[in-house]
Amino acid sequence: MAAETYLSKLKDFDTPIVWLVLYFFFNLSLTLYNKIILALYDFPFPWTLTAIHTLCGAIGSYTFWKADLFTPASLGERENMVMLAFSVLYTINIAISNVSLNLVTVPFHQVVRAMTPVFTVMLSIVFLKKSFSAMTYISLLPVVLGVAFATFGDYNYTTLGFILTVLGTLLAAIKTIVTNRVQVGRLKLHPLDLLLRMSPLAFVQTMIYAYITGEMAEVVQFASTKLTTSLCFALLMNGVIAFFLNVVSFTANKKTSALTMTVAGNVKQVLSIILAVIIFNLSITFMNLIGIMLTLAGGAWYR
């Protein structure tokens, strides 16, 4: 009886708002962890860090499977190809984002990425035949414009950088939509099941990309001279936080919608700025403050 009461209470917390709060918590925690901890060790290897995230995702989801916390679905060859395509989409999205950041300024990159909700709406209308209320369209305006004001700065870019940044934003929208569809559509995968199938494939792909770009050779050289026990522990904790962020993010996507998650991504961006102001004494302009208020108001207004 006590066990049933406990499970009943747990189910009361299984709501979209709770998962969104957890999404913000783990997302901001990972951002702060990267800034505070990894910055101390000077570990400038993005593909290796992504490989650690995906490896921890594979190990974590496998552990949860063996602990009987979920049961993997039985998929056919076609469904497994969908999982492979999803993992490739995940890896390419990271690759394009990393490359474009070297060709445009950070403020420009953030402003274009803030358009992800707009791309999500367009794709949902065209391919999923979805419709949205007038209130949804109106509430998206301050969410998108707010990020533009909050990150206002030096907007420099190259033609290739502009194309890649827009492409990366489009792919981010597609990834969010696909994440939702494989969990609520025909496949109806458990979030941990999705992570179990996607993570090993993405790990292999990121390692291949690290090798092609020459990062792997740099990491080997770094490991032979600068790798310490404390750094290994810091990287492990980074991977653990990333694992729980993925679980929470996938679950929140399943409980809400792809559009809600892209709006949450914009709100998270300005929350990161607020935390930076509080913790790192970052100075912001009046325009930045207006942008923060606009995005938070739009996020609260969004429905």
Q: Judging by beta carbons within 10 Å of its beta carbon (0-12, 13-18, 19+), is residue 188 exposed, middle or buried?
A: exposed
Look at residues 303, 267, 300, 17 and name the one whose alpha carbon lies nearest to residue 132.
303
C-alpha to C-alpha distance for 195 and 83, rounded to whole angstroms: 10
Tell me the average pLDDT across 269-287: 84
C-alpha to C-alpha distance for 83 and 90, rounded to whole angstroms: 10
Tell me the average pLDDT across 43-62: 92
Confidence band for 5, pLDDT divided at 50, 70 and 90: low
Place of tokens 């962890």: 33
Backbone phi and psi for residue 256, each to the nearest 5 degrees, phi listed first: -115, -105
Query: pLDDT (tens digit, 9 = 90+) per residue, 20-32?
Result: 999 999 999 998 8
Query: pLDDT (tens digit, 9 = 90+) per residue, 68-111?
Result: 999 999 988 989 998 999 999 999 988 898 888 888 888 888 88
Q: What confidence score (pLDDT) does residue 252 get? A: 96
Q: What confidence score (pLDDT) does residue 249 get? A: 96
Tell me the average pLDDT across 177-182: 94
C-alpha to C-alpha distance for 249 and 271, rounded to whole angstroms: 17
Q: What confidence score (pLDDT) does residue 6 get? A: 39
pLDDT higher for 37 or 247? 247
Place of tokens 């949860």: 64
Report the residue count for the chain. 303
C-alpha to C-alpha distance for 224 and 174, rounded to whole angstroms: 40
Q: What confidence score (pLDDT) does residue 261 get? A: 95
Tokens of 110: 């953030």
Residue 151 has pLDDT above 70, yes or no: yes
